[in-house]
Structure 1
Amino acid sequence: MSALETEIDELWERKQNGEIDAETAGEDAYATLDAFLDALEAGEIRAAEKSGGEWEANEWVKQGILLNFGLRATEPREYGGVTYNDVLPLADSSEYGDRGSRNTPDGTVVRRGANIGSDCILMSPAFVNIGARIGDGTLVDSCDTVGSCAQIGDNVKLGANTLIGGVLEPVEDAPVIVEDNVSLGAGCRVTSGFVVGENSVVGENTLLTPRIPVYDLVEDEVLYGELPADRRAFTRFVESSVSDHDLFDGGAYKPAVVATDLETETLEATEREDALRE
């Protein structure tokens, strides 16, 4: 256990026991919280990491993020000539250019505690929250949101108007993961700790969440909460148990995700129906 982890654990216990709050936290506590944010931004610590083939949350890191909210007072701050109120300032992006990364003006917001890699492009307006990791060579396009603790891999393309959800609580839950070399089409939504496997291509406006089934036509199985690596995925609507209703003609439908191998460009409509009904 590192010294920083030990200090965060101790602060967490004191906060949970009601021994410390935003009014009583002293200089030592804030020094620990600042060092924690520096380590997050440098990529020295992460909210989640892969272990034994599975993504696991680093609980103490998520606790440290929550402490930065619970032990700091809201203050008026300035950004782009506008006053906003928050417990944290925005990240200092002055060194992005030194590592080949760009954040375009007029609305690109990176919150303190986010890790931005090398050769990244952040197009305005985009928002990257505390604890998020943006890997090397990744594009965060216009109107994208990357939620707290989300882990975005290297050489990822997040299409315009994509939402990557954040999972901060409970601390034991892994956040949304988008692995290396993934391409998400415009308007995609990835939420609730869903894992997008490496090298996958996801069609525009696809919703990936553990509540929606993934019909994996490669391994002939139905999955929840993950899209395997090396897949091409798109939204399909399947019949719902609601069926006929007085309010509408015909049956009701619910969303699903169909996953094929990368060599499959498209499936004919009849093939899709047969695969889903089987």
Structure 2
Amino acid sequence: MSLQSDIEHLWERYDDGLTAADATDEDLTVLAEFLEALEAGEVRAAEKRDTAAQSAAGSQPSAGNGEWQANEWVKQGVLLNFGLHEISQYEYGGVTYNDVLPLLDTSDLGDRGSRNTPDGTTVRRGAYLGEDVIMMSPSFVNIGAHVGDGTLVDSCDTVGSCAQIGENVKLGANTLIGGVLEPVENAPVIVEDGASLGAGCRVTSGFVVGENSVVGENTLLTPRIPVYDLVEEEVVYGHLPPERRAFSRFVESSISDHDMFDGGAYKPAVVATDIEQETLEGTEREDALRE
């Protein structure tokens, strides 16, 4: 049987009432193999799939430039690791903590050119860190998360469960990447290759940040907040298109004329502009200052 079928079979038993006390050594071996596959980047909680290729391949992931979709069985495997392990005591940095899983063994990070600074860079088992990754302390990467090559996870950052962070991404200090575990069919937060998020950004509830986008500091990206895309002149929800420069603004609310709100009421929104035009104008301003 494949790892996927093993997890799916174990999930059926768990759904029927299997508990940590009932789990066999064979069950725990499957869970350990699953964690190792996550840590090696061999399986991922979500992948970008071409719809036609996916239909032809059945449930197996296939490469493509379509939409991000969750691998339900992978998220099931993460949940099984929570449900079928007993709470144990572990040691980290001289502190005793209680959890169902230990932290990731990061002793091989140096071999892949990655580094995690001392005093608070914490990676849970089942997370993947690529090559040339930098984790500044304090920061945290949760189970199921995938952090691509060349990415910076800055101080006070959290990368939530199953979040998919691309290559050469910059997560500014105090950035929150939310986790999405349930329902298992929902895709997690995605930050695509080359994106840069300013300090204090928050990305939640399966929002997708398009590749090579630049997000201004303290911007909240969530499917409930509209993105006013000035490039295509449309309002979108749940994703920031690629190659955009985005920042927070407040727009007039539908209750703006209420007597309780002197001067009007406003609701948050995100404005997205053409990153190439913004870069060009910035370069022109820089040149003018140097003349």
TM class by shorter chain equals over 0.9
> How many residues are treated as equivalent by the alignment?
264
Q: Secondary structure at the match of 2:247?
A: strand
| Aligned residue number for residue 12 of structure 2 | 13
Distance in 1 between the 2:42 and 2:100 partners? 23
Q: 2:115 aligns with which of 102, 105, 109?
A: 102
Distance in 2 between the 1:265 and 1:179 partners? 20
Structure 1 position 220 matched with structure 2 position 233? yes
Q: One-letter code of the match for 1:6?
A: S
Distance apart, 1:246 and its partner CA? 4.7
Q: Secondary structure at the match of 2:9?
A: helix
| Aligned residue number for residue 252 of structure 2 | 239
Distance in 1 between the 2:196 and 2:245 partners? 10
Alignment of 1:76-225 (within 5 A): 76-225=89-238
Q: One-letter code of the match for 1:5?
A: Q
Distance in 1 between the 2:216 and 2:159 partners? 18
| Aligned residue number for residue 289 of structure 2 | none
Q: Name structure 2 gaps, 5 residues minimum.
A: 51-65, 280-291
Distance apart, 1:75 and its partner CA? 1.0
Q: CA RMSD in A?
A: 1.1
| Aligned residue number for residue 270 of structure 1 | none
Distance in 1 between the 2:167 and 2:218 partners? 22
Q: Name structure 1 gaps, 5 residues minimum.
A: 267-278
Distance apart, 1:265 and its partner CA? 2.7
Identity of aligned residues (%): 77
Distance apart, 1:77 and its partner CA? 1.2
Distance apart, 1:50 and its partner CA? 0.3
Distance in 1 between the 2:274 and 2:260 partners? 39
Residues 243 and 276, structure 2, Cα contact 8 Å, conserved in 1: no
Query: Cα deviation per residue 1:11-32 (whole Å; 9 max; x = unaligned)?
Result: 10011011x2100101101100
Distance in 2 between the 1:185 and 1:76 partners? 36
